[in-house]
Structure 1
Amino acid sequence: MPKVAYSEEDKEHIRNALITVGLELMAKQGIQHTTVEQIYKKVGISRTFFYSFFSTKEDLIVETLYLQQPKIIENVQKLMADPALSWRDAVKQFLHACCYGEQNGIAVLTIEEQQLIFRHLSKESYQVFRQKQFRLFGEILENLGIKADTARIHLFTNLSLTAMVVRRAIPDTLPLFVPEAADETVDFQLDAIVDALEKLKDVPTS
């Protein structure tokens, strides 16, 4: 007989399970290819009950992105603490893991997904998203041994997301790009980002 009453503790557990399962599926198969049905069925609830937690798929996506932020920080800390890696190799491995998120349990938004979420978010939710994003990239820089002022965080955010987005966009969204050179393009971008970051290690903020 189906359960008809849930305690607040049950509901919190189910909500967390939806976010966790959502992140696992989205990281593995892409956000666009992950359906609400796949998520609620894996958690073991009904479609109607799912929408009592999240009014849209986009609401869930945002929560999955928040959930993975501590995991991203944990990853960069682990790499930076690895005595077998040079600073440069650790930074590049971290950026590479983000660009190839589906291989490393990291959900990365495509251009279309970014546009969809931006249109969906309220002004207040968008500001919260940007604040959390700002803190994430600032914390990443600090873990790389770089003082994180606003200008550096903004630039690092754009450079990192550019590499991730380009990698995800070839060839479907950027059909004039050459897909055979996609990996080499990403590698070139990451080397350029690491070069720029290396120069900032010893440069104090103004």
Structure 2
Amino acid sequence: MDHFLFFSLWAFYGLLIGWVLLLLFQSGSQIGDMAGMTAAMSVGMTAGLVTGLLLPMVFHLPFFVSTAAGMGIGGGVGWIAGWRGGPAGILQGWLAGLMGGMMGAMLGVMVPPAYHSSLFRLMNVLFAGVLLLVFQLIRGCAEKDRRGSPIVFFLVVGLFLAISHFFPVGVDRPEGLHGQNSVFKFSLVDRLIPYRGIVIEAKFSWIKD
């Protein structure tokens, strides 16, 4: 994989979320409680959903690790986004981030590998669309002080979508990074265990190519 594509994609995730969070904090009291809580829920849910989805689908991490990381990142982003809204904003942003992390991890594990590429691109479109709407929501509330250019933000989102379109799903790091060319894959093995009937146990294992 091209190093440029790899690092650029993850940099754009952080850039877009950070841009919206910065705009949210700069707008201050000009944003009403309802708009602030909506923004916190949207950003937290989106961050958790994308993180929980990409970790098992792109990095092939186990379901538990992906869920924990998705909930942690989504909840943290939602907590930060809802900080200006007081306890209500923090609670809604945090819980939305936790829910997004859980749903993203479940979606990443349940979808067959044949559809990973399409799901990856679809999720990036949803991610960009939500942040665009939140960006406009914040600017619409802060009419007296419209920080941030929508044209520049739109161009950055377009560049992000272009890079994500060419991102090869299924490779967890650029070839040769840290001197390693191997890819760790995640496999789900179902085993039947007789206990008061039949119980299906899911075991996680690491396979190194």
- TM-based fold match above 0.5: no
TM-score (norm 2): 0.29
Greater strand fraction, Structure 1 or Structure 2: 2
TM-score (norm 1): 0.29
